[in-house]
Chains A and B, each alone.
Chain A
Amino acid sequence: MTDTFLGMPAFPQAAAEAVRDGQLRANLRHATHTIRDKRARAVAELSDWAELRAAGKAIKDHTLRHLDRYLVQLEESVTAAGGTVHWAADAEEANRIVAGLVRATGETEVVKVKSMATQEIGLNEALAAEGITAYETDLAELIVQLGDDRPSHILVPAIHRNRAEIREIFAERMAAWGRPAPEGLTDTPAELAEAARLHLREKFLRAQVAISGANFMVAETGTLVVVESEGNGWMCLTLPRALISVVGIEKVVPTWRDLEVFLQLLPRSSTAERMNPYTSLWTGTTEGDGPSEFHLVLLDNGRTAALADQVGRQALRCIRCSACLNVCPVYERAGGHAYGSVYPGPIGAILTPQLRGTASPVDASLPYASSLCGACYEVCPVAIDIPEVLVHLRERVAEQGGHPAERAAIAAAGYVLDHPALLTAAERLAGRTRALHPRRLPGPGRAWTDTRDLPEVPAEPFRDWWRKNRP
């Protein structure tokens, strides 16, 4: 999928390293608990959340079942609005298309809006190989980029860094990338944000080309939607002369009206806000306003393989809200890096092995990176039954029998195998068709599910468990 994560240790090993990192664990715990509590309040404000969730699920499922039709319609609408559509079968082709488009503008620098699709394909590295520098403009991504680091959370990618570390990264590294950090920079968040504002504004005012992803694409109208907080998206989407958006084919929704569902589900699930500070919507190009050149690169890169799996397909409903990360007891302890891909947490555990296959040890171990507690399914705004897909993918990995991946996978499974009753209950349940409403385990599992809103910490600390049990 990308060079970035080549050489990553498999989940158990990476997680074992992460759980020994006290700072990381403290940051993650604070972040996940804060966000999940706020999210619960934001969701409780809408009395029709269950109905919105059902609609979100149904719209996405319907779209996936007619994906060919909607992509062709999208292509027509975008083209009619003055944009150009490109199709990329894999990461390499997407990178080649984007590099070619940037080169055609004569520019060697681009500004970027945070985008998981471009991280997935390793676009920055591919552009660098072509002599093109890509500047990340999201504050967290800037911290990650300057720190020569990897993101660890979908929503708050630099959550593993504290303010003192961020100050140090800015003071030491900003100058190498552009405007240096101010003299005497302290570690107050306001000062750090101001330093980032000045550093990045210089880039925005100069940039001729921007690269973005998109949260949604509307087939009917050709409209793309980017949801954000800081305004860096708005900057990138409107100031440069050319805009290139790289978007996974699963991000299409059929109609303009469908946005009424997703623009309610996403902000409340994600940042726990009624609405995120900025949402940009654009349709092709507009004379005299924003980029005069717009390219949409539609990315497959394993998505059609996931589509072919009738159980696994539901992972393509994901709107990347990150709610599942914040409730996951395994993610909270292991951190985002342990998952070895740009998609961490429960969604990463089911999406990555589908996009990349399960041949490598890290990908084979991912379906086991879960306790199957079901909290991820409860919070998912499009009702992806992550436990069901995990169990399904475990079967797939097990069928590979004798593969070197097996050992890693079984080691990761130990976390669950250590609680055999829990596994049986969860697996038994996983085979059933589920309603959208919170479910309860039958029989002995009941007491456990009653407390599932805040998953129980295992009796034995996870850290100790790893120390004893890791391979």
Chain B
Amino acid sequence: MNSRDLILGRIHAALGEPARPDEQPLPRAYATAHAPDDPAALLDLLHRNLADYRARVHRCTTTELPQRIAELLTARGTRTVAVPPGLPPGWLDAATAELLPDDGTLTAARLDRVDSVVTGCTLAIAETGTIVLDAGPGQGRRLLTLVPDHHVCVVRAPEQVVASVPLALPRLDPARPQTWISGPSATSDIELDRVEGVHGPRTLDVVLVTPA
């Protein structure tokens, strides 16, 4: 007997035959969200929770965005920026750093020598301070946001901000690879002292952008 049949046979034996009856619907009395359904309040909550996990949070309007991104890169001393395909034209218009568009051939080793990466996101979850990337347009392959030490991530409010995890999941496509990011990489393995960054970007700049 192969192991698949063996394991399934053990499960049948453990649970008993004949077929188990179907039962009551699962209890889902928990809340859909814990935050008020108010875009301004949600944005403030997202801001607070991101900052609480030591992301650096900035706000501006769509008109101010290119200038703001350029400032963040300059302040960091960035010389090269990885750019995912589909990043809205104009976001990097004011940047003086060298742009390195990802055409699918950038290797991890090359990205290891890149200073920053600038991306959008799929959505952000206010209650948990989480940004979700799903490798869609303006976000790029997963390694693009992982290897460089500095990540600038733009969240478009209010349309990309949801209150909670239960409200986020239905908007996400399970077929796409996803990375949920809540603050920069962190470890507490050494005497429970929190240290930013072992592997992922150690600096996460999140720009919350609202219509002009």
Residues of A within 8 A of B (CB): 27, 30-31, 34-35, 45-48, 51-52, 54-55, 58-59, 62, 65-68, 71-72, 81, 87-89, 93, 137-140, 143, 156-159, 162-163, 166, 189-190, 192-193, 196-197, 200-201, 204-205, 218, 221-223, 229-232, 234-235, 237-239, 249, 256-257, 259-261, 263-264, 267, 271, 273-283, 286, 288-290, 298, 300, 304-305, 307-308
Closest to B29 in A: A51
* Chain B residue, CB-CB nearest to A64: B15
The winner among A143, A158, A256, A277 for most chain B CB atoms within 10 A is A277
Q: Count A-B pairs with CB separation below 8 Å.
A: 236
Contact for B34 among A47, A65, A68, A249, CB less than 8 A: A47
Interface residues of B in 124-170 (CB under 8 A from A): 125, 127-130, 135, 141-143, 146, 165-166, 169-170
Contact assessment for B199 and A239 in the assembled complex, using a CB-CB cutoff below 8 Å: no
Q: In chain B, what residue has the closest Cβ to A158?
A: B189
Contact residues in A for B143 (Cβ distance below 8 Å): 238-239, 290
Q: Is B200's CB within 8 Å of the partner chain A?
A: yes
B75 proximal to A (CB < 8 A): no
Could you say which of B109, B129, B199 has the most chain A C-beta atoms within 10 Å of its C-beta? B199
Indicate if the CB atoms of A189 and B7 lie closer than 8 Å. no
Q: Are B169 and A34 in contact (CB under 8 A)?
A: no
- Report yes or no: A259 in contact with B185, Cβ–Cβ below 8 A: no
A128 CB to closest chain B CB, in angstroms? 24
From A193, A232, A289, give the contact of B195 (CB < 8 A).
A193
The CA-CA distance from A197 to B143 in the complex, in Å, is 16
The closest CB in chain B to the CB of A227 belongs to: B180
For A288, list chain B residues within 8 Å (CB).
104, 141
> Are A231 and B185 in contact (CB-based, < 8 A)?
yes
Instruction: Report whether A259 and B169 are in contact in the complex, using a CB–CB cutoff of 8 Å.
Output: yes
Q: Shortest distance in angstroms between B21's beta carbon and chain A's nearest beta carbon?
A: 10
A-facing residues in B156-212 (Cβ within 8 Å): 165-166, 169-170, 174-193, 195, 197-200
| B8 near A290: Cβ-Cβ < 8 Å | no
User: Contacts A235-B199, A260-B169, A304-B11 hold; do A55 and B29 have CB atoms under 8 A apart?
Assistant: yes
Q: Is the CB of A277 within 8 A of B53?
A: yes
B30 and A51 form a contact (CB under 8 A): yes
Q: Is the CB of B135 within 8 A of A289?
A: yes
Are A283 and B181 interface neighbours, CB within 8 A? Answer: no
Q: Which residues of A contact B11 (CB under 8 A)?
A: 67-68, 71, 304, 307
- Take A274-B49, A277-B183 as given contacts and tell me if A232 and B174 are in contact as well, using a CB distance cutoff of 8 Å: no
Q: Are B165 and A260 in contact (CB under 8 A)?
A: yes
List 5 A-B pairs, minimum CB-CB distance, nearest first: A231-B200, A231-B199, A308-B14, A304-B10, A275-B128
User: Once bound together, how far apart are the Cα atoms of A239 and B177, in whole Å?
Assistant: 13
Question: Which A residue sits closest to B5, measured CB to CB?
Answer: A87
Minimum distance in angstroms from A143 CB to a CB of chain B: 7
Please name all residues of chain B whose beta carbon is closer than 8 Å to the beta carbon of A259 when the two chains form the complex. 165, 169
> Is the Cβ of B189 less than 8 Å from the Cβ of A139?
yes
* Complex: A159 Cα to B101 Cα, angstroms: 43
From 89 to 135 in chain B, residues with beta carbon under 8 angstroms from any chain A beta carbon are: 104, 108-109, 112, 125, 127-130, 135
A249 surroundings in chain B (CB, below 8 A): 7
A158 to B6, CA, bound (A): 37
- B binding-site residues for A, Cβ under 8 Å: 2-4, 6-8, 10-15, 20, 23, 26-31, 34, 49, 53, 104, 108-109, 112, 125, 127-130, 135, 141-143, 146, 165-166, 169-170, 174-193, 195, 197-200
- A205-B109, A280-B179, A283-B175 given as contacts; is B195 within 8 A of A189 (CB)? yes
Closest Cβ of chain A to B36, distance in Å, is 13
Q: Given A204-B199, A249-B7, A275-B130, do A290 and B177 touch, yes or no (CB 8 Å)?
A: yes
Inter-subunit contact A68/B181 (CB<8 Å): no
Give the contacting residue for B175; candidates A221, A304, A308; CB below 8 A.
A221
Q: Is the CB of B198 within 8 A of A230?
A: yes
The contact sample of 27 A-B pairs, CB cut-off 8 A, is A51-B29, A55-B30, A58-B27, A71-B11, A87-B4, A87-B6, A89-B3, A197-B197, A197-B198, A200-B199, A204-B199, A221-B175, A231-B146, A235-B146, A238-B146, A257-B170, A276-B182, A277-B182, A278-B181, A279-B178, A279-B180, A281-B177, A282-B177, A288-B104, A304-B10, A305-B14, A307-B15
| Chain A residue nearest in CB terms to B179 | A280
Taking CB atoms, residues of chain B closer than 8 Å to A162 are 191
Q: Is the CB of B186 within 8 A of A307?
A: no
A30-B192, A189-B190, A307-B11 as given contacts; A65 in contact with B20, CB under 8 Å:
yes
A231 to B49, CA, bound (A): 20
Nearest CB in chain A: distance from B136 CB, A: 11
Q: Is the CB of A308 within 8 A of B174?
A: no
Q: Given the interface contacts A277-B53, A286-B135, does A156 sit within 8 Å of B179 by beta carbon?
A: no
- Assuming the contacts A229-B185, A232-B199, A277-B181, asked whether A304 and B7 have C-beta atoms less than 8 A apart, the reply is yes
Assuming A277-B185, A288-B141, A290-B177, what are 7 further A-B pairs, CB within 8 angstroms?
A: A87-B2, A89-B6, A204-B199, A229-B185, A274-B53, A283-B174, A300-B3
Are A72 and B195 in contact (CB-based, < 8 A)? no
- Closest chain B residue, CB of each to CB of A156: B189
Chain A residues contacting B30 (CB-CB under 8 Å) are 48, 51-52, 55, 261, 264
Selected contact of A257 from candidates B135, B169, B199, CB within 8 Å: B169
Given A201-B199, A276-B182, A281-B178, A163 and B188 touching (CB < 8 A)?
A: no
A200 and B198 CA atoms in complex are apart in Å by: 9
Q: Would A279 and B179 count as touching, CB distance under 8 A?
A: yes
Of the residues B128, B142, B185, B200, contact of A274 by C-beta under 8 Å: B128
